[in-house]
Amino acid sequence: MTDFEQQEIDALKAADDFTSLGQKIHQLMRLPQSHCKQRGNCCRVATFKGTLSYSELVALAESDDEDATNAREFLTLFEPYQSVEAVQEVAPLFVERVFEAVEQPEKVTFFKCRFVAEDGRCQIHEDRPTGCRVYPFPHAKTIYHPGCGFEQKGTENWNKIQDISQFFEKRFQELNSEVETLENNKTPQNSDQ
Ligand code: SF4
C-alpha cells in the first residue's frame, strides 16, 4: 500500500509531468522543522559529508569546488573534537553509526558547534545561519543521531527522491532511443527538407 505522496508521484510519472516531478524533488529536500525534537545532538556532534577529516574540510573550503561555500560556513560554526574518546562520551551510538557507514573510520573528524549550550540550546537561535534552519537534508550520506525526529521522514523522502531520479534516467534513455530511431528512419528526401 503506497502513501498519498507516493500515489501523487506515481500519477506525475504516468503523466510524464517532468516539471512537477522536479518541483516534487525540491519539496522533498526540505524536511518539516516540526520534526526536530530540539535535543541539540546534531549541534553537539556532527560530521561533514560523513567522512571528511579536518584537513580535508579546510582544503575543500579553500578550493573552488561547488561545496566550498558550505564547507566555509560549517567551519565558521564548528570546531573539531580533539579525540574520538571525547565524542564517545557525548554520543557513543552516533559514533557507532558513523563508523559503520564509512569505509575509513580512522579518517573521520567529529565537530561541535561553538554556539551550542550545555543543555543543547542554540545560543544564537534567532540569528542562526540558513544551513541550520533547513538542516538536515535527505541524502544517502546523511547520518542521523539515534532518536532524531527527522530520521524516518528523511529516509522516506530520500527513497522518493531516488525513485523520481531513476524514473528521469529511464525516461531520458527511452526518449533518446526514440529520437535515434526517428533519425535512423529519416529518408534522404525527408532530411533534405
Ligand atoms: S548555530 Fe545553533 S542551530 Fe546551528 S549548529 Fe550551532 S547551535 Fe546548532
pLDDT in tens, the chain (193 residues): 568 999 999 999 999 999 999 999 999 999 999 999 989 999 999 998 777 889 999 999 999 999 999 999 999 999 999 999 999 999 999 999 999 998 888 889 999 999 999 999 999 999 999 889 988 999 998 999 999 999 999 999 999 999 999 999 999 999 999 998 888 888 665 555 4
Q: For ligand 1, is residue 139 a contact (CB within 6 Å)?
A: no
Closest CA to 46 of 130, 103, 115: 115
Q: Is 128 exposed, middle or buried (0-12, 13-18, 19+ CB in 10 A)?
A: middle
Q: For ligand 1, is residue 122 a contact (CB within 6 Å)?
A: yes
How far, in Å, CA of 169 to CA of 163, rounded? 10
Q: For ligand 1, is residue 39 a contact (CB within 6 Å)?
A: no
Neighbours of 135 (CB within 10 A): 17
pTM of the shown model: 0.83
Atom number of ligand 1 nearest to Cα 46: 5
Q: For ligand 1, is residue 46 a contact (CB within 6 Å)?
A: no
Closest CA to 151 of 87, 93, 70: 93
